[in-house]
Homo-oligomer: A and B are copies of this chain.
Amino acid sequence: MTNSQPTPAPTDAERRLALLWDPPQPSGRGRKARLTLDEVVDAGTAVVHEAGLDGLSMRKVAAHLGVGAMTLYTYVPGRTELVDLMVDRAFAELDLPRAEQPWRTAMTRYAHEHRGLYLRHPWILQTNMWRLPLAPHVLDAEEAGLRILVAAGLPATQVVEVIGLVDTYVRGVARATVAEQSEGSESGLSNDDYWDSMSTFWTTYFDAERYPTMTRVWEAGGFDAGHASFDATLDRLLDGIELAIDRAAA
């Protein structure tokens, strides 16, 4: 609909990309802008930090800037695109490893940087997109990851899935860590209430006969250790990758 002009009107998807990849170009003419795109994105990031992704509303962001809600739409086509921009800005924080280091060092650094990012910006894990936005700094990160693996000698056909594996691992651990930190703090549930109802669960509903292994693992403290072992598991992952590299070299 509304797409039959001879002059190819910019698609939604194109405006989205343009915003991410082009400077806003102030264009001289017309009224001066009170705000910058950067300021809007900053405000969004500020709001999301204290209200979570669900609490990120255009009205709140606008209020945070002392501006009417609709004003934001001068800078950003909509909420979705604002989130994209926020993700891109967050990924810009990554201090990506250069490939000159030995690949295991670089890969470990890559993983740590990403984990730090997700712990600083847990809301990224809440963005329900199927994949991250096609944004410059996101691609920078992927480029860096690929470069490490290619430099290590992994064939191109495996490089993509392996970096995906590492990304996936890091996100999983970060998600678990965040979950543990803010257990009941969401949804207005006080921590006391949360743990009360948890113990209610264990005493009332949990059936040690239905879940014998869980029970045994719990008693052995298997659920406590948790995430001190990020590096240990990561090393195991890298072992697997090293194996693939060696296999490819032969």
Contacts and interface: CB of A to CB of B under 8 A. Distances in A.
Interface in A174-223: 175-176, 178-179, 182, 184, 186-187, 189, 193-194, 196-198, 200-201, 204-205, 210-214, 216-217, 220-223
Chain A interface size range? 35 or more
Contacts of A226: 160-161
Contacts of A65: none
Nearest to A239: B240
Copies in the complex: 2
A167 interface: yes
Given A157-B222, A159-B217, A172 B175 contact: no
Contact of A130 (B134, B140, B182): B182
A156 B220 contact: yes
Given A14-B200, A139-B214, A233 B161 contact: yes
A37 interface: no
A126 interface: yes
Given A130-B178, A172-B171, A197 B13 contact: yes
A225 interface: yes
A240 B226 CA distance: 18
A185 to B, nearest CB: 10
Interface string A79-106: 0100000000000000000000000000
Interface in A150-172: 150, 156-162, 164-165, 167-169, 171-172
Contact of A236 (B146, B193, B244): B244
Given A11-B193, A211-B143, A214-B142, A176 B131 contact: yes
Nearest to A196: B11
A227 B229 CA distance: 29
